[in-house]
Chain A
Amino acid sequence: MSISAAEVERVAFLARLHLTAAEKEDYARQLGAVLSYAGRLRELDLSAVEPTAHATPLFNVLREDAPGESMERELALANAPEAIDGFFAVPRIV
């Protein structure tokens, strides 16, 4: 099984990745191989099985609505590639 070039491109865009032509080819093949292996799951009839999201389930893990400390703005922006006037700065949106 190999997935199509168009599928690879669609998925790459969803994941915000630019792929080179070679990467696209590799991923089409490798993803296809892993997915056809994963397809073995479909051999099993799991219609009556509940999914497990957490192996050790807990419920109602909540915190009280009590204000805590926020960060100093300088610290919040310390790792930012670009910061202007206390804002995180990004290139134009569209």
Chain B
Amino acid sequence: MDIRLSECSVAELGRLLRGRELSAAELTEYYLERIERLDPAVRAYISVLADKARIRAREMDALLSAGAGGPLTGVPAALKDNICLAGAVTTCASKALANFRPPYSATAAEKLLHAGAVVLGKLNMDEFAMGSSTEYSAFFPTHNPWDLARVPGGSSGGAAAAVAAGTAPYAIGSDTGGSIRQPASFCGVVGMKPTYGAVSRYGLVAFASSLDQIGPLTRTVADNALVLTAIAGHDPKDSTSAPNEPGDYSAGLEEGARGLKIGLPKEFFREGLAPGVEKVIRDSARRLESLGAEVGECSLPHMDHAIAAYYLIAPAECSSNLARYDGVRYGLRAPAADVIDMFQASRSAGFGPEVKRRIMLGTYALSAGYYDAYYLQAQKLRTLIRQDYERVFAEYDVILSPTAPTAAYRFGEMSDPLSMYMGDIYTIPVNLAGLPAISLPAGLTDGMPVGVQFIGRHFEEALLYQAAFALEQSVAFTERPALTEVD
């Protein structure tokens, strides 16, 4: 075949499969071979489910040959390793769950399987999704395909790196404070954090329940809309799942940027934003203007406090969510004389330093005498942040902002927790407000990709895709990591 399959979009692959120009078995072998060749350097995968994928591909071929199947049928995919897949080890990149085999699949995974996906494997991440570089995986760090000396971002670093390296056509990640969008930005791919409640959280191993959301990482905006359409929708197993049925997120994709009112929050263009990143954002704003959008300055006055609120709320929820890893029902158990010792020994051996740090922080924030000062105060700030966005969205359709203050940094560069946390400044407020946001590559700085972020009103993912698609077509970001040139 003279087409470079790793360059094909998900939609194209689907067409080739349905046209029977390509079999799912061939496509799966192609990706398994690429994983075998490229992943030893990138290390995006924690586990590769080669045998299962091959069997599944043959099943999908049978379906396709019978004329059945949809746009995703037979197209391989990979899941972040905090998304449960029945029978497959789901580790959350933690020693605590190194051998955990869930007897159930996440609803998003089930929907994906229902849509005909062939799951290639489970992807690396920061342990329990806590981190921004994938350096906190308990097993190994993932490398940025653009520069192996740099981090891929995190916590969905494996997902972004696999899509960037062309070792998965698309991936499913999770985003609590930027964990889809920031690695998407670092790796030059498209990442969507949908509205809280748009995709079921059932089977997503919880980090911070009121913030976590599953979303797709893809190479193109159109692919992203396609995948989100497959995984979104109400789930009676998740009480926080939105009751409204989403439509087809791809429907309005090509309607263009003309007439869109786009706000640029002035608070996002201050110290800390790398000049190379700012340039890409400003360029994007000009492009959108040239496409007929109205771009204006807006204000989100409480953004300075968002990180403080987030680093109280997320650790508080995490300290409670991760209490269950005690060595009784599943997961790591350390030998001990009595139950309390066992709890302590198992948890101390099971969790890495960042997870422990956040558990400590959250436990402290919730403990007697501090609840009002920290947790409650943070929940109140959340109200102000939500109101900030409401005011902006009364005037603007979408917000354009950086995704991360810098491009991907080098391993070990971000050693101080607080400065690592500050890197989430553009993504965190979105989770606090439960809004949808997408990051797409819009340029390079020093050879590394830079993502821009569109933020929209609750459940207006379609409008984000429309804006992002318009920008994507204008930018025509065709650069690829050198590593992926081999085929």
Contacts and interface: CB of A to CB of B under 8 A. Distances in A.
Q: Do A and B come from one complex?
A: yes
Interface of A: 3, 7-8, 10-12, 14-19, 23, 27, 30-31, 33-35, 37-42, 44, 46, 49-56, 58, 61, 63, 71, 75, 78-82, 88, 90-94
Interface string B121-138: 000000000000000000
A85 to B, nearest CB: 16
Contacts of A15: 319, 323, 347, 359-360, 363
B195 interface: yes
Given A34-B361, A78-B103, A94 B338 contact: yes
Given A34-B361, A75-B103, A94-B338, 9 more contacts: A15-B323, A33-B418, A34-B417, A38-B311, A50-B383, A51-B382, A52-B383, A55-B435, A90-B339
Contacts of B101: 78-79
Contacts of A19: 348, 356
A50 B308 contact: no
8 contacts: A16-B347, A17-B348, A34-B311, A49-B381, A49-B383, A49-B384, A56-B197, A93-B339
Contacts of A18: 344-345, 348
A91 B339 contact: yes
B308 A37 contact: yes
A10 B366 CA distance: 13
B379 A31 contact: no
Interface stretch (B15-23, B239-247, B399-407, B463-471): B239-247
A36 to B, nearest CB: 10
Nearest to A50: B383
Given A54-B240, A90-B342, A46 B380 contact: yes
B328 A90 contact: yes
Sorted nearest first, the 4 A-B pairs with minimum C-beta distance are: A55-B434, A51-B379, A79-B330, A81-B333
Interface of B: 99-101, 103, 195-197, 210, 236, 239-240, 242-243, 304-305, 307-309, 311-312, 319, 323, 326-333, 336-345, 347-348, 351, 353, 356-357, 359-361, 363-365, 367, 373-374, 376-384, 386, 417-418, 421, 432-435, 458
A21 B294 CA distance: 57
B458 A56 contact: yes
Contacts, number: 174
Contact of A80 (B330, B340, B435): B330
A14 B363 contact: yes
B383 A30 contact: no
A44 B434 contact: no
Contacts of B242: 56, 58
B326 A46 contact: no
Contacts of B351: 17
A55 B359 contact: no
B95 to A, nearest CB: 13
A77 to B, nearest CB: 9
Given A41-B305, A55-B196, A79 B100 contact: yes
A68 to B, nearest CB: 11
A31 B377 contact: no
B257 to A, nearest CB: 27
Contacts of A54: 196, 210, 240, 434
A16 B312 contact: no
A92 B338 contact: yes
A52 B375 CA distance: 11
Which of A18, A42, A71 is the most central at the interface, judged by chain B CB atoms within 10 Å of its CB?
A: A18
Contact of B356 (A23, A33, A46): A23
Nearest to A14: B363
A30 B357 CA distance: 8
A27 B380 contact: no
Contacts of A61: 239-240
Contact of A34 (B243, B328, B421): B421
Contact of B363 (A11, A23, A91): A11
Nearest to A62: B239
Nearest to B302: A44
Contacts of B357: 27, 30-31
A71 B103 CA distance: 9
Nearest to A83: B329
A53 B379 contact: yes
A52 B333 contact: no
